[in-house]
Structure 1
Amino acid sequence: MTYLLYMMTLFGYGCQSLTGDIALVSGGKSNYVIVLPTEGGKNDQHAADVLKSYVQQLSGATLPIIKENAYKDKTQPAIFIGRTDHAANINTGKIKPEGFMLATDARDLYIIGGSGKGVVYGVYTLLEQYFGCRKYSQSPATVPVSKELRLPAQLHDQQEPAFTYRETYYPAAFDNEYLEWHKLHRFEDLWGLWGHSFFKLVPPRTWFAAHPEYFAQVKGIRQPTQLCLSNEAVYHLVVDSLRKAIAANPDAMYWSISQEDGGGYCTCDQCSKTDAEEGGPSGSLIRFVNKVAAQFPQQQFTTLSYLYSSKPPLHTKPASNVVIMLSSIDALRQEPLATIPSAAAFRKNLDTWGAVTAHLFVWDYTTQFTNYLAPFPDYANLQPNLQYMSGHKVSGVFSQGSGDTHSDMAEFNAYVQAKYLWNPKTDASKLQNDFLDGYYGKAGKNIRQYMDALTATLKQTHAPLDIYGNPVNNHSNYLSPIAIDGYSQLLDKAEAAVEGQAALLKRVYTARLPLEYTVLQQSRFFGTEPNGYLVANGNTYTVNPRWPERVKKFTALCKESGVTTLAEGGISPEAYQQEWDNLFARPWVNSIAFRARVSLVNPPPPEFPGKGAQTLTDGLEGGNDFSLNWLYLYGKDLVAVVDLGAGKPVNSVSTHFLQDARHYIFHPSSVTIAVSEDGTHFTDAGTQTIPPLSAEDYAVKQTPVSFKLTGKPVRYIRLTGVCPTAIPVWREAPETKRPAICCDEIYVQ
């Protein structure tokens, strides 16, 4: 790329050149006319309309739009848009697709684009970099008013994209002007068929009952988890489906032939033979995609390199019209992808794919999918990650954020990612400050301090930043109550800085939502402890009287700020309010075992620590979220011994177990209660068998389990829940995946 003003300053407007400048508008008036090619296309016309509209907003001047064959008076200054004959006087050379050139001579301005929307991008770049306009979010653009619009004479600013496919998936990107302004794409506009597509091509509801052989053989049984890629009938069905789809949408640039989300790939004899030859299940996938792609040599196909297919085949290379879309899903986010250990496999696969294909996209992730509103301070890693991809033969990036629902710093993330996707070498500090100061006004510096504090504390505490994490799990590190108090003080200053400015104050309130969400979620976890939502009231606990109004204000602001769902596949703000209302209405239940010491044979995994053993006696029941107030055990039995401190009469013992097949959580196969006086010699007091699920069931259920005892004094109570040995076949899963069990409060009466 070449930049005249761009190298002098990232956002230079009104800059002087050594050869003087030209006045497009002077004193609110202009002699200029916008000239289009005589045979110009729709993008040329659109670019001219955009320029005319914004020049009028900027200065009040109205520029006529004419075709070049009507441009007779050569003494009239002009803005030439597109490949006009006059533009031939400018030595542009070849402009890459979607690139553009902004050029001036001693009088005229030329905006010339490569293929696609390059000329439109050129107009928006002129408005932003030279005239000071900004499009910070899906809201209307910020347009400064000036009676003077000047450009340097002999300007030559040619820009071309670092990536051919650029998408940042946040609410702002659902605005059409935002997309064009920031030179972004939308997958719905490029793909005729997107993402996980096997079952769009061969729907199980249509074919599985009559032809189970079309689908994957898993553990010896045909299941609708993936397709059987060695089945010739499947190949013909896919080709037929694509032929019809392509005929109906001939302008689509890409077509996806990709595995379904999850595991369950086919292990029939023929698929297994192919995978053995190729070193893994990507072998049968790439051979199949290549075979289909050969039927449509004029089309481009994408396929996911994801989970079981992330490792490239040993021998088969993707066809020339096949694009590999590699996922970075396994990487943690507290450090850049180039260095973090959890991305080692991604880096290796990226290099290996890059050695066998020139067509490589990356599906990246920049939000916490389990809690969209959780603070997710990967802000400093966004640019290094895209620089790393740009340097490793990646030509397209789908940066998946929260989609059309608001999330932590969504406007900031979308804005800076868009700029990095166009030019990863952009001056990040200037870019970020320009956004923060422009979007938040005088509160910008305080928002910057807040973001910097989050980032610094994350680094200092060595906490993992997981796209499937939970702000509750960070209660002892970068989201501790003490840390939150510090962040809150910075946001208090941000609010004070824009007091009386309703629009800016609302933006600060929206930026504060993740912190408030964290406080509310952690209050469920702390419960009866400091920072919990319950307060002592004699011998019992009741709801903190400030909490109902606090939750109400939070959910109202969520709706005002564009929060439609709190997690991927999660609940709405209204449903979140209802969860709290149910919690507020639930009386706290005392128990002989409240705060009793508990020992576990098998501890919970570090990803879902809860309160450890004390999760079972903290006085709090779990809800539908397995990561909150449930003791989670992965692939191991629950063996918990509750010490009542002394022999006490016990009439009953009860608890709940969770079923959540989506997260591979199932009821224990059996539950046993045993009692002891010395903690060594136990006597069984009852066993219950829980039948396994016999059919597909993804409903989240809390199943009570209770035992009647004799009322005799006991000191130790042992609860044993036997974890199922295998995940049901209908719940497809990688071969290494094991079932989990979850238990909440043990009530002893």
Structure 2
Amino acid sequence: MHNYQLHSKQKSAITSMSAVLVMPLLMMASCGKAAVPPFTQYSEYAVCAANVDDAADVKWATYLKSHFQKRATDKDCIIAAKAADASQLQVNVDLDPSMSTDYAVERDDQHITLRARTTEAMLWLQYQFMAAASEQDARFTTDDLPAAVLSCTQDTAGTFAFEYRGIYSPSNTNADLMPILGTHNVDFDWGLWGHNLRKVFTDGIPQEAYALVGGNRDSEQFCFSSEALYKAYENYVIDQYGEGNNDEIVRFAVMPNDNSIVCMCAACRAAGNTAASATPAVTKIVERLARRFPKHQFFTSSYTTTATPPTHRLPDNVGVLVSTLALPLQTKINGSTAEQRKFETTMKTWKNVSRHIYVWDYMRNFDDYITPYPCMELIKTRLQYFKKMGVDGVFYNGSGYDYASFDDVQTYVIAQLMLNPDADITQLVSHYYDKAYPVTASIYTDYYLSLEQKAKQATLNPYSGIGEAVRMYLDADALENFWHKLDGGKGKAVDTERRNINEMLTALAFTRLELLRLQPKAPSAEKKNELLSLLSAHTAFKDLNNYRESFGEVDKYIAEWRTSSPWLINNGNKLRGTSITSTTKLDPEYADLSVLTDGKAGFASDYHTGWLLNSSAQLSLTVPQGKLSGNSTLQLTFLQAPQWHIFAPASVEVWQGGKLIGKTMPVANEGRNSVKVMLSGVKISAPVEIKVNKAERSGRATIAVDEIEVM
């Protein structure tokens, strides 16, 4: 879970909800009405308040006139209201809290009325109108706006599928564009988000605010029964946001730190805490804050120690954030798997006790931001599912402020899907690129949609390497072809389009290098150096410094390529190409034993490629008879990477016929570690078993083994 009004007469029903968010170029006149004239027919646009006696209408009409005029090359075509004539389109603005939908567009030959229930919906709707008008009327420039999804050429209405629509991605960090796109960002619109509880303490954290475990205070977790914690949170809300008001909702998260520690002090135990569940104490403080600040919203989480819901109904201004990390990212969501059934049970239980159910979902491979991750079709299915489950808010965890390939189009598409999960992805992608990339639109559109088609039937992992991308959807030749087409097409591009093309070409040098690491033979030095030189240009782009969520600096990746090589010079290794077997239960993602004898080294910066990972207490590997002699030295390579819970083994033993014939105790240093087991003077007459014994660690621990060599 990773860490943002007017009054007018109600008119007759307009079009059905199925017409809400279809593409502008495909929208047809509805209800049997004749098609209205195109925007190009009008010489003037008269912007009017629907009710001149309503201050809100006047305010929003003034806002639309001002911003519409800023985008006009002919300023005189935007005028105040006057007697209508055939050459004028009268634009009426109506903010009406009594509406049954979030927005409505009412259109005839000489009038268009933009109606909205809230200020948020009105702002979104006005920019939809401006963007739609500019697509026909060349007197307006809206290059700074996302492509419209309403054509504003017919009657239509709609209600946004989710009240909260958060996207944590670099393409959603402009505070001015978020309301125009209809999105939120946790860094901008939450009073406190995620696992950031330390922020409420301005003068240091008192010991009594820490969890009591085994009689000792543990600074890795909080005591949620602590009066000091409550007072610090209360003061934080007052100092930063005040008592709140009914016009602007501020949301606050109250979550334990991301670990399995639970406070077991007398007060927490009295609240109902167990060694595995902090839900009772966390719920108690959340409810206390909610009662203290009834005009704010407070959210707990359904994650690790708070996965178990409370047993009683929570106040109306209390919600829950449910992590979807355990729900596989796939299109088939029909309750047919154990993970899906467990998720549905969790959702239904929380729905019984909480009014606001938000989900914390994922849109990135957090081990590789740069390699394409085509998840839109999968996310569309999930959003339809979430809506069916009664979810009213969605947060998409992306790459934050770090570059991710295709992030701009994916942010745009997700934004539209959170408004309407039934929107057509192919049309959205095409329309986005047609506006944002006028020179290279077809290159981008064709390649990206081909990725989506391949990934549609896949199950994507939010923590995976290049090998899994290739297995699921990524074709190396197609990527290379896309890169060269884009490089060839950039010559005619200008300004933002050209800059974005150059950044993608630079970034994809990383993926092209990763694809090289999958090849059995080393590429030419010229090819390798060409890609490394291209990737080194990442410093020209402020958001292209990291390729993964943590421990992923691009400069360190480049340095590893320059100081080491995946292709070992070990042709004399007698085990090269030997089929190693195992009686250990292998992890499904790491069942390919050929990586142990393929002559290719894994990088210390990446545990996915070239390494065999195993979480068993003991990994057993068998070398067939005839490959070792009595004067052999076995050399094994392990990874020591505590940041990923990967540790070198406690010991390596070599057995033959039930007899121990060699043993070593590795001394682990950060990164790659080679250890040797001497077999001198031992007669080898049968298959040899190598037993790799995992080091004893509290919590999660994994072994990563690379090449096995005979020295």
Aligned pair in 2 of structure 1 residues 283, 706: CA closer, same or farther (>3 Å)? Answer: same
Aligned pair in 2 of structure 1 residues 476, 37: CA closer, same or farther (>3 Å)? Answer: same
Aligned pair in 2 of structure 1 residues 139, 256: CA closer, same or farther (>3 Å)? Answer: farther
Secondary structure at 1:238's aligned position in 2? helix
CA distance in 2, matches of 1:82, 1:237: 44
Aligned match of 1:733? none
The question of 1:576 aligning with 2:576 is answered no
Over residues 106-141 of structure 1, what are the superposed CA-to-partner deviations in whole Å (9 max), with x where a residue is unaligned?
75554444333333222211123344289xxx9734
The question of 1:288 aligning with 2:285 is answered yes
Q: Alpha-carbon deviation of 1:232?
A: 4.2
Aligned match of 1:688? 665
In the alignment, which of 140, 148, 171 is matched to residue 144 of structure 2? 140
* One-letter amino acid matched to 1:295: R
Aligned match of 2:702? 740
CA distance in 1, matches of 2:21, 2:461: 39
* One-letter amino acid matched to 1:608: Y
Aligned pair in 2 of structure 1 residues 645, 270: CA closer, same or farther (>3 Å)? Answer: farther
Secondary structure at 2:24's aligned position in 1? coil
Counterpart contact for 2:322–2:357, Cα < 8 Å: yes
Aligned match of 1:671? 651
CA distance in 1, matches of 2:121, 2:372: 36
Over residues 280-330 of structure 1, what are the superposed CA-to-partner deviations in whole Å (9 max), with x where a residue is unaligned?
5433322331123222223211222223323322x2222221121211111
CA distance in 2, matches of 1:174, 1:186: 7
How do 1:317-396 residues align onto structure 2 when only pairs under 5 Å count?
Answer: 317-338=313-334, 341=337, 342-396=339-393
Over residues 53-94 of structure 1, what are the superposed CA-to-partner deviations in whole Å (9 max), with x where a residue is unaligned?
22x14xx2435677xxxx7x66797856655xxx8xxxx672
The question of 1:705 aligning with 2:703 is answered no
Aligned match of 2:193? 194
Aligned match of 2:459? 464
Aligned pair in 2 of structure 1 residues 453, 63: CA closer, same or farther (>3 Å)? Answer: closer
In the alignment, which of 207, 215, 218 is matched to residue 210 of structure 2? 215
Over residues 142-183 of structure 1, what are the superposed CA-to-partner deviations in whole Å (9 max), with x where a residue is unaligned?
899xxxxx986xx65444422221122322212344323322
Counterpart contact for 2:189–2:251, Cα < 8 Å: yes
Aligned match of 1:501? 492
The question of 1:124 aligning with 2:127 is answered yes
Over residues 567-597 of structure 1, what are the superposed CA-to-partner deviations in whole Å (9 max), with x where a residue is unaligned?
1124233332222212259973554443344
Aligned match of 1:426? 423
Secondary structure at 1:645's aligned position in 2? coil
CA distance in 2, matches of 1:680, 1:286: 58
In the alignment, which of 688, 693, 696 is matched to residue 722 of structure 1? 693
Counterpart contact for 1:653–1:746, Cα < 8 Å: yes
CA distance in 2, matches of 1:572, 1:311: 37
CA distance in 2, matches of 1:603, 1:360: 38
Q: Alpha-carbon deviation of 1:467?
A: 0.9
In the alignment, which of 213, 220, 223 is matched to residue 225 of structure 1? 220
Counterpart contact for 1:596–1:644, Cα < 8 Å: no
Secondary structure at 1:132's aligned position in 2? helix
CA distance in 2, matches of 1:115, 1:365: 29
Aligned match of 2:587? 605
Aligned pair in 2 of structure 1 residues 653, 106: CA closer, same or farther (>3 Å)? Answer: closer
Aligned pair in 2 of structure 1 residues 487, 522: CA closer, same or farther (>3 Å)? Answer: closer
In the alignment, which of 233, 242, 245 is matched to residue 240 of structure 2? 245
CA distance in 2, matches of 1:244, 1:259: 22
CA distance in 2, matches of 1:440, 1:64: 28
Aligned match of 1:405? 402
How do 1:3-42 residues align onto structure 2 when only pairs under 5 Å count?
Answer: 3=15, 10-12=23-25, 18=33, 29-30=43-44, 32=46, 39=55
Counterpart contact for 2:192–2:252, Cα < 8 Å: yes
CA distance in 1, matches of 2:395, 2:502: 29
Q: Alpha-carbon deviation of 1:417?
A: 1.2
Aligned-CA RMSD value: 4.4
CA distance in 2, matches of 1:7, 1:255: 32
**Bigger shift: 363-372 or 420-429?**
420-429
* One-letter amino acid matched to 1:520: L
Counterpart contact for 1:654–1:748, Cα < 8 Å: yes
CA distance in 2, matches of 1:249, 1:645: 77
**Bigger shift: 680-689 or 115-124?**
680-689
TM-score when normalising by structure 1: 0.77
* One-letter amino acid matched to 2:517: R
How do 1:263-282 residues align onto structure 2 when only pairs under 5 Å count?
Answer: 263-268=260-265, 271-272=268-269, 274-275=271-272, 280-282=277-279
Over residues 198-251 of structure 1, what are the superposed CA-to-partner deviations in whole Å (9 max), with x where a residue is unaligned?
333358x933xx62x533345665423322223444434433443433349986
CA distance in 1, matches of 2:581, 2:502: 43
Aligned pair in 2 of structure 1 residues 571, 37: CA closer, same or farther (>3 Å)? Answer: farther
* One-letter amino acid matched to 2:166: E
Counterpart contact for 1:37–1:81, Cα < 8 Å: no
Gapped runs of 5+ residues in structure 1?
A: 145-149, 536-542, 692-698, 728-736
Over residues 415-444 of structure 1, what are the superposed CA-to-partner deviations in whole Å (9 max), with x where a residue is unaligned?
111112222233444333323444455865
CA distance in 2, matches of 1:8, 1:151: 11
Instruction: Number of aligned residue pairs: give it.
Output: 678
Aligned pair in 2 of structure 1 residues 634, 506: CA closer, same or farther (>3 Å)? Answer: same
Aligned match of 2:76? 62
Sequence identity, in percent? Answer: 19
CA distance in 2, matches of 1:418, 1:143: 12
CA distance in 2, matches of 1:440, 1:421: 23
In the alignment, which of 566, 571, 580 is matched to residue 547 of structure 2? 566
Secondary structure at 1:330's aligned position in 2? coil
Q: Alpha-carbon deviation of 1:682?
A: 3.9
CA distance in 2, matches of 1:414, 1:198: 28
Q: Alpha-carbon deviation of 1:185?
A: 1.9
Counterpart contact for 1:333–1:466, Cα < 8 Å: yes
Q: Alpha-carbon deviation of 1:279?
A: 10
Aligned pair in 2 of structure 1 residues 31, 247: CA closer, same or farther (>3 Å)? Answer: closer
Aligned pair in 2 of structure 1 residues 139, 249: CA closer, same or farther (>3 Å)? Answer: farther
CA distance in 1, matches of 2:275, 2:577: 55
Aligned pair in 2 of structure 1 residues 619, 74: CA closer, same or farther (>3 Å)? Answer: closer
Aligned pair in 2 of structure 1 residues 161, 367: CA closer, same or farther (>3 Å)? Answer: same
Aligned match of 1:173? 172
Counterpart contact for 1:167–1:186, Cα < 8 Å: yes
Secondary structure at 2:707's aligned position in 1? coil
Counterpart contact for 2:210–2:217, Cα < 8 Å: yes
Counterpart contact for 1:44–1:120, Cα < 8 Å: no
* One-letter amino acid matched to 1:501: K
Counterpart contact for 2:312–2:353, Cα < 8 Å: no
Q: Alpha-carbon deviation of 1:277?
A: 9.0
Aligned match of 1:484? 476
Gapped runs of 5+ residues in structure 2?
A: 1-12
CA distance in 2, matches of 1:312, 1:23: 54
CA distance in 1, matches of 2:34, 2:89: 19
Aligned pair in 2 of structure 1 residues 378, 284: CA closer, same or farther (>3 Å)? Answer: same
**Bigger shift: 340-349 or 214-223?**
214-223
Secondary structure at 2:126's aligned position in 1? helix
